[in-house]
Amino acid sequence: MRIAVLIEDRCKPNSNAFDYLKKWAGSCGGECIQVIGDKCKILESACPPCIVRAKHCPDDAVIIINLPAELDTDMVHRYSLNGFRLFKLPTPSKDSVVGILGP
C-alpha cells in the first residue's frame, strides 16, 4: 500500500505545488486529490494514477510512503485522516490483570 503525505508548508496558495495539485484535482473522476478553498488534500484511498501525479508535484510538497500490508481487523484507534493507527492492543478482561510495561 502506498500513501501520499502532503507537506502543507510547501503547498501554500499561489505556489507551484498548489497550482499543480489544483490542475489535477478531480481528473480521475473521483475525489483522490481535493482542493477546498486554499487547502489541498490527498485522500488515503487515492487511485494509483493520482499517486503517480502527486509524486511528480513540484517543490517536493508530496512524499510517497510505501507501507506494509495493513491488517483488516482489530484497529483500536486512528489519530487523524491518513494518520497513525493502532492495532491489536490488549483488552482488559474481567477478574484478570493485563499490564503493559515500559520505561
Question: What does the pLDDT look like over 42-94, one tens digit per residue?
Answer: 888 888 888 898 889 999 999 998 887 777 788 888 888 778 888 888 777 78
> Looking at residues 29-53, what average pLDDT do you find?
88
- Cell 482489530, located at residue: 74
pLDDT at position 28 is 85
Write out the H or E segment, with its range, that includes residue 17.
helix 16-24
Distance CA 52, CA 64 (A): 9
Structure confidence at residue 100 (pLDDT): 67
Residue 98, classed as helix, strand or coil, is coil
